[in-house]
Amino acid sequence: MSGEECVRFLQWALPRLGMRWAGFRKVRGQVCKRTGRRLGELGLSGYDDYRGYLDSHPEEWSVLDSFCRVTISRFHRDRGVFELVRDLLLPELAAAEAGGPREHRGRAGLVRCWSAGCASGEEPYTLSIIWRLAVGGRYPGVGLRVVATDVDETLIARARTGCYPRSALKELASGWVEAAFEPVGDELCLRPQFRPAVELSLQDIREQMPPGPFHLVLCRNLVFTYFEEPLQGRLLDRILERLLPGGFLVIGAHEELPAGDWPLERLVAGAPVFKRGEAQAFKRPVARGT
């Protein structure tokens, strides 16, 4: 099976799954490997046959959907973004929480975050490490809670184990690696004190979202890369229902928000960090299975 055949197939299939080819262009190898293996399992001779198979077996679409999950992640990915989280976002949120209970600020004394599409825990545990090693000590009485969701069972299980190859930690300063991890065999495992802040949960963001409210939402390298723009807009709407006024949304370093009049302002020119206006009242999400 040629790579070109796979590309043509993905250009046909992805929009039918609410996804966009542009997001997959650079990472198509991972997806083509999986679909190629699937053709072998089904005894099909090429992608044309697979199209026919999808037509006659609609349940196969969810199998194909599962092949379209790109699982690349790293601790402290896009270092500059996490420096903003460390130096501006978490201190501002913690200071507000330290000021005591405030209307619309969520539970007093707790900075509440959501890592949407958390892979094997690299992103939510990075928040926990930053909090414990650089921010939390300055705000006694204030805690950090990170709800971390992903659709992939294997990744959530790996996140629960909390052990990683060294390559997953290459963007983390060496002092922090030593402080937060202990070697176990060939891997590095997160020390116990960095784990309780993170609550892992298996969820498909298209079907379900944690109720919130959140002070900080990280939705990076998922919705705004792989999904079609109308779906991006619908999901952003629902994310914003969960983001408190004055809270922050962080997207991927190479992502843009879909067109729309969102109640968000870019915090720093060129950085993928947005602040939700203080003026907008927080609307609790309406129950619709999310």
Ligand X SMILES: C[S@@+](CC[C@H](N)C(=O)[O-])C[C@H]1O[C@@H](n2cnc3c(N)ncnc32)[C@H](O)[C@@H]1O
Q: Please report, as ranges, the residues that interact with ligand X according to CB under 6 A.
A: 69-73, 77, 117, 119, 122-123, 150-152, 155, 204-206, 220-222, 252
Identify which of residues 92 and 123 has a Cβ nearer to ligand X in the complex. 123
Which whole-number Å values give the CA distances from 37 to 34, 114, 161, in the listed order?
5, 34, 28
Nearest distance, CB of residue 193 and ligand X, angstroms: 23
Which lies closer to ligand X via its Cβ, residue 72 or residue 108?
A: 72
**Token pair of 136 as six digits:** 């939390």
Among 211, 218, 278, which Cα is nearest to 249's? Answer: 218
Closest CB to ligand X among residues 97, 123: 123
CB of 218 to ligand X, least distance (A): 7
Q: Which is nearer to ligand X, 206 or 234 (CB)?
A: 206
| Closest chain position to ligand X (CB) | 117
CB 18 within 8 A of CB 206: yes
| Secondary structure of the chain in HEC code, one letter for each residue | CCHHHHHHHHHHHHHHHCECHHHHHHHHHHHHHHHHHHHHHHCCCCHHHHHHHHHHCCCHHHHHHHHCCCCCCCCCCCHHHHHHHHHHHHHHHHHHHHCCCCCCCCCCCEEEEEEECCCCCHHHHHHHHHHHHHHHHHCCCCEEEEEEEECCHHHHHHHHHCEECHHHHCCCCHHHHHHHEEEECCEEEECHHHCCCEEEEECCCCCCCCCCCEEEEEECCCHHHHECHHHHHHHHHHHHHCEEEEEEEEECCCCCCCCCCCCEEECCCCCCEEEECCCCCCCCCCCCCC
- Supply the minimum distance, in Å, between the C-beta of residue 87 and ligand X: 20
Nearer to ligand X, 119 or 216 (CB): 119
Q: Residue 65 CB, nearest distance to ligand X (Å)?
A: 8
Q: How far is the CB of 222 from ligand X (least distance, A)?
A: 4
Q: How far is the CB of 225 from ligand X (least distance, A)?
A: 7
> Least distance from C-beta 209 to ligand X, angstroms?
9
**Of 136 and 252, which CB lies nearer to ligand X in the complex structure?**
252
- In whole angstroms, how close is the CB of 203 to ligand X at the nearest point? 6
* Nearer of residues 20 and 105 to ligand X, judged by Cβ: 20
Interatomic CA distance for residues 88 and 137, integer angstroms? 15
Nearer to ligand X, 19 or 96 (CB): 19
